[in-house]
């Protein structure tokens, strides 16, 4: 769970820096998300590799991480660019993140080692990211549609409500996972 503190620190630096307009270049701060998101997806791959035992899954995680990083670089330099939110990368990474969660939950259920998932920190991390990644991929798909129609105004209230909702769910689940960790320090492997 210590790795999440580093990820949360990075997210806070980026989010607060964007809030205070510290990272604006050419009237855009999207470049910070375009750099942070592939790092987050790479971290999530590493995290799920640490908490699963399936060697085939580990190979797929390595491959999918490389796919995310290469596609992110291609998107950043050739498709959506520096100034625009690289939503294609986020959609791809979110779908891959949902896949990692599915594999983790499947392995956990097959092992049947954990009698009560509600008290297991990795379960809460997975639930939070499942809602976040699933919601983010749907939202960004609509984002791309409204962007392509050049009529973004109707989408802004939907975006505002749902992006805040999935962020709330994610951080609530991460908070619960940290409390589970404090309550039961001997659980499983320390990530």
pLDDT at 90 exceeding the cut of 90: yes
Residue 84 and residue 30 in contact, taking contact as beta carbons nearer than 8 Å? yes
Give mean pLDDT, residues 97-114. Answer: 88
pLDDT of residue 149: 84
pLDDT band at 97 (very low <50, low <70, confident <90, very high): very high
Residue 54 lies in a domain: yes
Number of folded domains that form the chain: 1
Residue 148 lies in a domain: yes
Q: What percent of the chain has pLDDT over 70?
A: 92
Residue 189 lies in a domain: no
pLDDT of residue 12: 82
Residue 121 lies in a domain: yes
Q: Which domain holds residue 81?
A: 2-183
Residue 191 lies in a domain: no
pLDDT of residue 7: 83
pLDDT of residue 189: 46
């Amino acid at each position: 769970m210590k790795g999440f503190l580093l990820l949360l620190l990075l997210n806070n630096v980026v989010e607060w820096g964007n809030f205070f307009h510290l990272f604006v270049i050419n009237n855009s701060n999207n470049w910070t998300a375009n750099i942070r998101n592939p790092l987050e997806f790479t971290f999530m791959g590493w995290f799920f590799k640490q908490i699963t035992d399936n060697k085939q899954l580990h190979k797929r995680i390595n491959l999918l991480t490389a796919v995310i990083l290469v596609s992110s670089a291609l998107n950043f330099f050739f498709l959506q660019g520096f100034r625009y939110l690289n939503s294609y990368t986020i959609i791809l990474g979110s779908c891959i993140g949902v896949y990692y969660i599915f594999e983790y939950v499947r392995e956990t259920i097959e092992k049947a080692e954990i009698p009560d998932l509600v008290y297991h920190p990795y379960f809460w991390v997975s639930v939070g990211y499942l809602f976040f990644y699933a919601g983010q991929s749907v939202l960004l798909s609509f984002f791309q549609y409204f962007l392509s129609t050049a009529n973004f105004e109707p989408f802004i209230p939907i975006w505002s409500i749902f992006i805040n909702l999935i962020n709330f769910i994610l951080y609530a689940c991460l908070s619960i996972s940290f409390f589970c960790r404090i309550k039961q320090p001997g659980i499983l492997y320390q990530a």
